[in-house]
Structure 1
Amino acid sequence: MFDAANYCRGWLSGFTPTGIITMASGNLAACLKTVLAYEGGWSDNPKDPGGATMKGITLATFRRFKPGATKTQLRNIASSDVEHIYGVGFWDPIRGNDLPFGVDLATMDYGVNSGPSRAVKDLQRVVGAPADGKVGAGTLKAVILADNKATIQKLCARRLSFMQGLKIWKTFKRGWSRRVADVEAKAVAMWLAHAGMPAPSRQSELNAEANKAKDQAQAQTKGAGGAAGGGVVAGGGDAAVSAEPNWLLIAGIAAVVAVVIAVLVIKARQHKDRAAAYKAAASAV
């Protein structure tokens, strides 16, 4: 049986119980592969304030590295330049080489969407370090001592919560929910692989996470249905026993029920996305 606590103690000395070096040094390329799958290819929409963009890199950003670069050069940007720009802009600020495998992916992808400082602050909040947005010795120690799978999952949950507070959430919620779920599952799979867990055990753990998420989604879907039924009963009962229904009370109950239902439906959808992502990660082992 995999001993996570013993693994984390081994991390402090630089090795897992199986002798695998655990620092994520050199893991940028693997993390970037997941990030770029969501950042898209070439875009040059005149209505887009960001202007011409290739693989998430704007022309303005590219010109900071290659002064005077043209749109054609951006469109044909070399893979080495893409990795360098993401490395300097996102990997280095989160100290990706010093984070555990999987935690580096979850933090980097968050940073690409919302800025490295915000990503690091939420990582710090998850592990109980001062949230100053800078990865120092104290933050690294807290991350290393934490349960890395839980760190990844909590960080992704915080990221999604932040996204839900944005004005454009309604427009992008489906894609964002799937992206965060996919990153979470791939990050956990990455962590388990580098922890030295055998492939069959990794599959079992990832499938267990998928089933857990599926159960949560079903419970929340059922809860939404129950809340809807309860709201109808509450409103009908009030109207039935009163010669003059208290419409303000009924409206208030309906509003509360609507909010509860909306929250449960959103959470159910997110857990469905997580279940699908973990299933896919398990199949990829």
Structure 2
Amino acid sequence: MTGFDLAFERVVGHEGGYTTDPKDRGNWTTGVIGKGELKGTKFGISAMSYPTLDIKNLTVDQAKVIYKRDFWDRAKADQYDSAVSYQLFDMAVNHGNGNAIRMLQRAAKVADDGQIGPMSIAAVKAMTVTDVIMRLNAERLLFITKLTTFATYGKGWTNRVAGNLQYGAVDA
């Protein structure tokens, strides 16, 4: 198993099943705690991002279609070594495409405009896979420690990064 299928299997393992934590803004259809409908998150697919989706009854196959279309393809993950693609994909699912792409661009030392184009792709490809993974995860740690919800969710996010570094050591 390689590419998207392996990345999906890993990310779904991180994201888990159905949750309706009322303190997590992603579980609310408006993205604002206490406003809108508390529909939850399942397989990392959140009510905030997909307010009209039946989150509770979402199947893993439906989630896979969403992941491919809205995260893998938008991040142009097929353009990179599979080890980098997985890292970028996991970040896109967890932090949004724009944030993940900007972190990748900062890791590659190009303008962080959130748009993947030829310059960004070339800069990433000019680096070793190990360097990209290390710098990308460093950017991710810098990003998550600045979030106001780090005190609540930071341990889980940090453990996720640790797991991704372990994958990186195997994949690179």
Aligned to 2:11: 35
Among 108, 115, 122, which residue is 1:127 paired with? 108
Cα displacement string for residues 118-169 of structure 1 (whole angstroms, at most 9, x for unaligned residues): 1111211211222211111111111111011111011101101111111221
* Counterpart for residue 179 of structure 1: 160
Relative contact order, higher structure (CA 8 A, sep 6+): 1
SS in 1 for 2:82: coil
Q: How does 1:69-148 map to 2 (within 5 A)?
A: 71=54, 74-148=55-129
> Separation in 2 of the partners of 1:93 and 1:105?
14
CA displacement 1:28-58 (0-9 Å, x = unmatched): 1211112111212012356655223221213
Give the distance between the partners of 2:14 and 2:51, measured in 1 at CA. 22
Task: Compute the TM-score of the two structures, normalised by the length of structure 2.
Answer: 0.81
Match of 2:20 among 44, 59, 76: 44
Counting only pairs closer than 5 Å after superposition, residues 121-270 of structure 1 correspond to structure 2 as: 121-191=102-172
Long gaps (5+) in structure 2: 28-38
Structure with max Cα Rg: 1
**Alpha-carbon distance in 2 for matches of 1:39, 1:124:** 25
- 1:53 aligned partner, one-letter code: T
The number of equivalent residue pairs is 159
- Deviation track 1:53-76 (CA, whole Å, cap 9, x = no partner) reads 221213565566xxxx6x4xx444
C-alpha distance in 2 between matches for 1:47 and 1:162: 20
- Aligned equivalents of 2:9, 2:140: Cα separation in 1: 20
Shift of 1:101: 1.3
Once residues 60 and 166 of structure 1 are traced to their aligned partners in structure 2, the CA distance between those partners, rounded to angstroms, is 17
AA at the equivalent of 1:54? K
> Take 1:142 and 1:104, find their aligned partners in 2: how far apart are those partners?
14
Return closer, same or farther for 1:58/1:171 CA change in 2, 3 Å cut-off.
closer
> What amino acid is aligned across from residue 186 of structure 1 in structure 2?
Y
Match of 1:54 among 42, 58, 61: 42
Instruction: Note if contact 1:31-1:105 (Cα within 8 Å) is conserved in structure 2.
Output: yes
The one-character-per-residue Cα deviations of 1:220-275 (angstroms, maximum 9, x if unpaired) are: xxxxxxxxxxxxxxxxxxxxxxxxxxxxxxxxxxxxxxxxxxxxxxxxxxxxxxxx
1:102/1:188 contact within 8 Å kept? no
CA contact (8 A) 1:101 1:187 kept: no
Structure 1, unmatched stretches of 5+, are: 1-25, 192-285
Match of 1:273 in 2: none
Task: Give me the whole-angstrom Cα distance separating, in 1, the residues matched to 2:120 and 2:22.
Answer: 42
- Identity rate, percent: 27
Query: How far apart are residue 180 of structure 1 and its match?
Result: 0.5
Q: 1 CA distance for matches of 2:23 and 2:146?
A: 24
Q: Is the 8 A contact 2:77 2:89 kept in 1?
A: yes
Give the Cα separation in 2 of the matches to 1:47 and 1:130. 34
Structure richer in helix, relative to its length: 1
Amino acid at match of 2:45: I
Aligned Cα root-mean-square deviation (Å)? 2.2
Distance 1:153-1:45 versus aligned 2 partners, 3 A rule: closer
Q: Aligned partner of 1:114: which letter?
A: H
Measured after TM superposition, the shift of residue 86 of structure 1 is: 0.9
